[in-house]
Structure 1
Amino acid sequence: MILFFGVRPGKTRTHNLEGVTCPYCNTKGQMSASSTPSFVHLFWIPVYRLGTNLIAECTHCKRGFYKEEFTPEMKQVVAENIRK
């Protein structure tokens, strides 16, 4: 019997981070965050969620920020809006 399994990314969701200031260019209201879940799949059917990849980007200066680089302001808005 052949068994197809592995890890794949899910759908990427993008949200605007209203009122958040970019720590690089100090522009307010231009930040967006993208979240991409990772799933273990069996026969291409998602079975278990491994985690979520969070990345924020300033649409003004195009600077990207990983989850470890988020400011407290970014963390608060992400917790309120994305993690519902």
Structure 2
Amino acid sequence: MIFYGTNSSRLKDGQINNVTCPNCENQTSMTYSVFGKYAYIYWIPIFPLGKVNVLECNSCKRTFKLKELPEQIKHKFELEKHRGIPILHFSGLAIIVLAIAFFAYSGSKNKELDAKYIQAPAIGDVYSVLSDTNGQYTTMKVTGVTNDSVFVVYNDYEIDKRSAIYKIDKKENYTVYESGYTKQEILSLYADKTIYEIDRE
């Protein structure tokens, strides 16, 4: 279950002097509070939703939203210095942006390593492979390397989700007979994305 919603935090309190309350009509002062509204997911603020200004007459204690008050009071309120939107209200958005940047960088580095590993195969390398069987995924493990050939053993199992390939990459699943490829064939399989990922311990 995803917990999400809106909330607010108090940004500033202050007071406006020498104003006429529209309710009690006394010449008085008003206390105000500025609240910043924000959307959250799992109680982490994601982005701001604006501000709410609440004023209270110090004589009759009636509360007002700013838009309910006369222009004179609005003008005095606007002369007060109000803080901008707190950075905290963007914290969730910042986390999301950082996570995207991290995964993009990590993916880029993994691609660089894959390109390096495919050029110099090593015993124990595990190639994630798009199978010929109805878009299934499997793996093959490098068991031998010569000057121009690469020998592999295919995984006994296939899986229908690329992201779940780790579930079948187990030592006991490599019992099928050994196959041989030229290094050029391995490079071609990588180039056409049949081999799409390489894991080297």
- Alignment length (residue pairs): 83
1:46-81 deviations in Å (ceiling 9; x for gaps): 221102111211111112222221111111111111
Quick check: which one's strand share is greater? 1
d(CA) in 1 for partners of 2:72 and 2:20?
8
d(CA) in 1 for partners of 2:6 and 2:75?
29
Counterpart in 2 of 1:43? Answer: 42
Q: Secondary structure at the match of 1:15?
A: strand
d(CA) in 2 for partners of 1:8 and 1:24?
29
1:12, CA displacement in angstroms? 5.2
d(CA) in 2 for partners of 1:38 and 1:30?
26
Counterpart in 2 of 1:55? Answer: 54
The answer to whether 1:74 aligns with 2:53 is: no
Note if contact 1:13-1:35 (Cα within 8 Å) is conserved in structure 2: yes
Provide the aligned C-alpha RMSD in A. Answer: 2.1
Q: Which structure 1 residue ranges, 5 or more long, are not aligned?
A: none
d(CA) in 1 for partners of 2:47 and 2:29?
34
- Where relative contact order (Cα < 8 A, 6+ residues apart) is larger, the structure is 1
TM-score by length of 2: 0.36
TM-score by length of 1: 0.76
The verdict on how the C-alpha distance between 1:82 and 1:57 changes in structure 2, with shifts beyond 3 A counting, is farther
Note if contact 1:22-1:28 (Cα within 8 Å) is conserved in structure 2: yes
Q: Which structure 2 residue ranges, 5 or more long, are not aligned?
A: 84-201
Q: Secondary structure at the match of 2:77?
A: helix
The verdict on how the C-alpha distance between 1:58 and 1:37 changes in structure 2, with shifts beyond 3 A counting, is same
Note if contact 1:21-1:31 (Cα within 8 Å) is conserved in structure 2: no
Quick check: which one's helix share is greater? 2
Matches within 5 A, 1:13-32: 13-32=12-31
Note if contact 2:10-2:33 (Cα within 8 Å) is conserved in structure 1: no
Note if contact 1:58-1:64 (Cα within 8 Å) is conserved in structure 2: yes
Percent of residue pairs identical: 27
